[in-house]
Amino acid sequence: MQPYVLAISLLLMIAVAAAFWWAVRNSAADAQGATTGQVESYRAGLFWALVGFGVVIALATLRPWPYDASAAEDTVIVTATGSQWSWEIAPKELPAGRPIIFKVTSDDVNHGFGVYDSDGAMIFQTQAMPGYVNQVRYTFNKPGKYRVLCMEYCGLVHHEMVDEIEVK
């Protein structure tokens, strides 16, 4: 997605730069060659064309918003609840290549929901807080086992608050 956005941005920037260059090149000619009335009607036409263009672009690109990620058809919802000192995660077997939304909360005190890959590198984390549901969206592209560690000191056995999810 990002390369397309970049390419489109570059094209639009080039178009804007070309329009400026054209306007600067022709401003002297307009002042000499065309009457004031012609220039003004041309400007008004250009103005309304730009307004119309903006409205079309806004309608074409903003209609799907506000975007509810969990409404996507292939999204998998995972609930994760922390409590001293374990995680309750369901489901624990997840598909690779599909967007996963983790809904994370806590039954008692604040915990940290941190997900690590098999190399021990953290992929993402969010707070697990009593009374709140924090959402994280992530797509696992690599099958394997992922560890869930508590990221916030939450009492004597904090260090054993470890669980595992498997991506297939």
Q: Is there a contact between 140 and 150 (Cβ–Cβ < 8 Å)?
A: no
Q: Is residue 161 part of the contact set for ligand CUA (CB under 6 A)?
A: yes
Q: Is residue 163 part of the contact set for ligand CUA (CB under 6 A)?
A: no
Q: Is residue 158 part of the contact set for ligand CUA (CB under 6 A)?
A: yes
Q: Is residue 150 part of the contact set for ligand CUA (CB under 6 A)?
A: yes
Residue 143 dihedral angles phi and psi, to the nearest 5°? -65, 155
Task: Give the count of beta carbons closer than 10 Å to the beta carbon of residue 85.
Answer: 17
Measured CA to CA, the distance from residue 161 to residue 154 in angstroms comes to 9
Measured CA to CA, the distance from residue 87 to residue 57 in angstroms comes to 46
Q: Is residue 153 part of the contact set for ligand CUA (CB under 6 A)?
A: yes
Measured CA to CA, the distance from residue 92 to residue 96 in angstroms comes to 12
Q: Is residue 154 part of the contact set for ligand CUA (CB under 6 A)?
A: yes
Binding mask 47-76 for ligand CUA (x = CB under 6 A): ------------------------------
Which residues are near ligand CUA by CB under 6 A? 82, 85, 111, 150, 152-154, 158, 161
